[in-house]
Amino acid sequence: MLIPTANRIKILRYLFKEGVCLAKKEFFAKKNIVLPSIPNIQVIKMMQSLVTRKYVKETFNWQIYYWTLTDEGIVYLREYLHIDENVIPATLKPTKQAFTRPFDDERRARRFGDREGFRRDGYKKDSGDFKPSFKRQDDGQRRDGGYRRAEAGSRPRA
C-alpha cells in the first residue's frame, strides 16, 4: 500500500518515541487511536511491513493490535530517521521507583493486627484442644450437594 511520506515519517517517529504503537482492528476507520491525523489502515499496513522485517513484535488482543519495537527496529529507525545514539524509546528509559518506607514491626502490628484477634475465646495454641475430624457422613449425601453412588451389595434408601 502506498503511504504518503509525511504519514510514514509521523508513524515511525511516534513508534521510536514511545517504543510501542497500537491500532484497532478497523481497517476503514478514519483515524487511528494514537495518531488521529492518520487513517488507521495506513498505520496497520506500515506496522505489518515492519513485522515482516522483524523490526517490531505484534500482539493482538481484544480486537486491538499492539506493536513493540525490537532492538533491530531501534537500529533501523535511528538510521532511517537520522536520530542520535543517545536518544532512546520511552519503553527503554528507566522509570523512577516510588519511595516506600519499610514497615517496622510496631507499625505492621498496629496496622494489620495480630492473628490472635481472630482466634476464638479460650483457644490456647499449645493446649491441643483442637482435633478436627474428617469422618464421612453416612447420610447418603455428599458435601457438595450431590448424592453418592450406591455401593455394591447395598440397597438404595427410600
For residue 117, give Cα distances in angstroms to 103, 113, 114: 20, 7, 6
Q: Please indicate, yes or no, if residue 78 is contained in any of the structural domains.
A: yes
Q: Is the pLDDT of residue 69 over 80?
A: yes
Q: Please indicate, yes or no, if residue 60 is contained in any of the structural domains.
A: yes
pLDDT, tens digit, 9 for 90 and up, residues 108-123: 555 555 565 555 555 5
Q: Please indicate, yes or no, if residue 124 is contained in any of the structural domains.
A: no
Percent of the chain scoring above 70 in pLDDT:
61
Q: Please indicate, yes or no, if residue 96 is contained in any of the structural domains.
A: no
* Domain span at 67: 8-84
Q: What is the CATH number of the domain that holds 64?
A: 1.10.10.10
- Per the model's pLDDT, the better-predicted residue between 147 and 45 turns out to be 45
Model pLDDT, residue 59 = 92
How many domains does the chain divide into? 1
In the β-sheet with 64-69, what is the strand arrangement from edge to edge? Answer: 20-24, 64-69, 56-61
